[in-house]
Amino acid sequence: MNRLARFLLLGSLGIAAMPVAAQEPQKIKGPDERYKVDILVVVAHPDDEAAVTPYLARAIYDLHKTVAVVFGTRGGSGGNDYRREHGPAMADVREIEARQACAKLGIDKVWFLNGKDTASQNVLNSLANWGHGESLEELVRIVRLTRPEIIITWLPGIFIGENHGDHQAAGVLATEAFDLADDSVMFPEHLAGASKRLEPYLENLTPWQPKKIYYFSDANDQKQFAGHGFAYSVREVSPSQKKPYWLLALRAAEPHLTQFPDEIHRWSSLSDEQIQKAMSDPNKLWWSEPETLLFGKSMVPGTKATDDPFAGTAVSIDFHTELRTTVIGKETHRIELRLGGPWDFYRDFRKRHNLENLPEAATPGIAIKSGTTLTIPLIVEHSPAIGASTLKIDVDTPQGWRVESGAGSFQLPLEKLTEMHVDIAIPSLTADEAKAKGTGEVTVRAELDGKSLGDVKLKVQLVSGGVPQ
Ligand SMILES: [Zn+2]
């Protein structure tokens, strides 16, 4: 018997003679921990992330948190201030600029939804143009993959300022994803897949409930948000980086050349010391001091709006408690006039998503360009439905503004909710005149069969640019 044969024989005898070893339990593969993050940022456009990079720098460098960013669009519209590429080619460029900007803070998990830039202040235009359902599914998928503790996103609401519909759409989608990602009947195909090896369309993701959601806004007046969330200093010096957070954020914005080439060239030629000297005036900074992360809601019991976002997030929580019990109140006998369009959408959206503590404008308002038409969407609710009622609409405007349509007497159809709108031509003003005349207020009054339905007021700020209404 040669040595090999003896070895094999002994080996086999040996195995037969040994007691049977306890079988190793089969390993169930867990989710991919490389993709688990602490913070998921959901914004609309490449460069929007810069609104919160001072906070992200703090979270990453000094709190050792991990971050992923989702952009709603790839930024292919608008002007290229750097070189000549435009349209889809510029979207290719802007995607890389955004990835490089995130990479400067060490963020390598960056996704883009299929949204298209939509130049309007109406969130419904953006949701329609982005493919609301497709975008939401993808965002829920990303939440289930990245399992964030907190989500930070644009404020879904209407405030005088840039008031970009795309920004608001990012906030709407992030809020919806916050509420849906843990719900196993929403996109259940994401969660299925463990039973068979070859189910190429099932995803094996994890249902996930983020613990808190915070917002930031493009409103002109940031002071109105004081006290509504977690305030953080942008001028504080990072203990680990020995630089103020605003400077780390500014350096991270340097790849966005197609948007701010002049500023970026100016900063990038300056040393950290020079740039700090140049920015010693707080009004020159892009960010307010302090900045506020507006508190949306929390799954952690006892959370206060001003708490640190990560307070209480370390404990595991039974999420399946209160959140989904909200029912929109059934208001059967209601007769009123109210703002329609995006204002009416947000009225229901905030109720449905438990966001009624989120700040809203004291008087509804919008900024629009002089020389354009202001459209005021209205809803006349006359429930239960009454037919053959006569509605009378009166409109008060500042001097020189002209009501084009929507005022007068109307016969209402037999329905509970009637949508209509008032159009008002705003005279063309020079930039100086617009500044001097500042803000105007429009009041719309309604009467139904001679009975007052009350009025709605809209504050209108005239500006020389910005996205159209
Ligand atoms: Zn933007």
Q: How far, in Å, is the centroid of ligand 1 from the Cα of 424?
A: 28
Q: What is the whole-number distance in angstroms between the Cα of residue 162 and the centre of ligand 1?
A: 9
Confidence of residue 102 (pLDDT cuts 50, 70, 90): very high
Query: What letters, b where the CB count within 10 A reaches 16 and e where it falls short, cover 232-263?
Result: bebeeebeeeebbbbbbbbbbbbbbbbbbeee
Task: Give me ligand 1 centre to Cα 253, in Å.
Answer: 14
Please give the structure tokens belonging to residue 269. 């030629």
DSSP 8-state secondary structure symbol assigned to residue 342: H
User: What is the distance between the alpha carbons of residues 277 and 273, in angstroms, rounded to a whole number?
Assistant: 6
**Residue-level pLDDT at 326:** 42
**Average pLDDT value for residue range 342-354:** 93
CA distance 57 to 242: 12
pLDDT of amino acid 52: 98
| Distance (Å) from CA 374 to ligand 1 centroid | 23
pLDDT value, residue 10: 46
What per-residue confidence (pLDDT) applies to 437? Answer: 74
Distance CA 466, CA 439 (A): 16
User: What number is the average pLDDT over the span 179-194?
Assistant: 89
Residues 368 and 462 sit within 8 Å (Cβ to Cβ):
yes
Q: If you measure from the C-alpha of residue 313 to the centroid of ligand 1, how many angstroms do you get, rounded to a whole number? A: 29
Helix 132-146 / helix 165-180 crossing angle, nearest 10 deg: 50
Calpha distance 166→162 (Å, rounded): 11
CA of 397 to the centre of ligand 1 (A): 31
* Ligand 1 centroid distance, CA of 47 (Å): 7
Report the distance separating Cα 216 and Cα 197, nearest Å.
43
Write down the pLDDT at residue 27. Answer: 72
pLDDT tens digit string along 31-90? 999 999 999 999 999 999 999 999 999 999 999 999 999 999 999 998 999 999 999 999
The pLDDT tens digits for 271-294 are: 999 999 988 887 888 899 999 999
Lateral strand order in the sheet of 373-383: 334-339, 373-383, 417-425, 402-405
Of 3 and 266, which is predicted with more confidence?
A: 266
- One DSSP character per residue, 58-95 reads IIIIIS---EEEEEEE---SS--SSSS--HHHHHHHHH
The structure's pTM equals 0.86
- How close is the Cα of 48 to the center of ligand 1, in Å? 5
What does the DSSP 8-state code read for residue 325? G
Better-scored residue on pLDDT, 303 or 414: 303
Q: How far is the CA of 279 from the centre of ligand 1 (A)?
A: 24
Distance 54 CA to ligand 1 centre (A): 17
Interval between CA 436 and ligand 1 midpoint (Å): 28
Residue 291 CA, ligand 1 centroid: distance in Å? 18
d(CA 12, CA 279): 79
The pLDDT, as a whole number, for residue 234 is 96
